[in-house]
């Protein structure tokens, strides 16, 4: 007997954080992150607002379950927002215009630059002395 999948899955990324997101239609918005409620996991209301912003933008009520790993809490919140937005576009193509306009579908490419040999950091050179 095969199980019918009634969810939509997507992946969101930011810096080194990755979020695997599943969306299911529900009566009200609920978000579970790593088997915890989003408020308990992120603890900062601004990050919870970041995560719920794509759902509020389209006016949908979905139950979200996500597994996030890597990066810090802020990067994880942004990765989760990216994943939710991508899953919403998979559900309904008409959401794409509004989500893209708000920048939720853009994978933010900014990340820490690697350290180069001969330097103290990515671009910081050792102090130069004339003599």
Tell me what pLDDT residue 3 has.
Answer: 57
pLDDT in tens, 58-110: 988 899 999 999 999 999 999 999 999 999 999 999 999 999 999 999 999 99
To 10 degrees, the CA torsion angle through 76, 80, 83, 89?
Answer: -150
User: What is the rounded average pLDDT of the residues 27-53?
Assistant: 94
Tokens linked to 17: 């954080």
Give CA separation, 30 vs 38, 39, 66, 67, 83, in Å: 8, 10, 11, 14, 15
pLDDT in tens, 67-78: 999 999 999 999
**Residue among 80, 105, 62 nearest 12 (CA):** 80
């Amino acid at each position: 007997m095969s199980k019918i999948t009634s969810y939509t899955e997507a992946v969101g990324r930011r810096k080194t954080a990755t979020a695997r997101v599943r969306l299911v239609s529900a009566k009200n918005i609920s978000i579970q992150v790593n088997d915890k409620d989003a408020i308990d996991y992120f603890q900062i209301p601004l990050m919870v607002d970041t995560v719920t912003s794509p759902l509020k933008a389209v006016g949908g009520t979905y139950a979200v379950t996500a597994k996030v790993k890597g990066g810090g809490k802020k990067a994880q919140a942004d990765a989760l927002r990216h994943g939710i937005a991508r899953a919403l576009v998979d559900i309904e193509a008409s959401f794409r215009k509004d989500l893209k306009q708000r920048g939720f579908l853009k994978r933010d490419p900014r990340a820490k630059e690697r350290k180069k040999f001969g330097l103290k950091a990515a671009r910081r050179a050792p102090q130069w002395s004339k003599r």
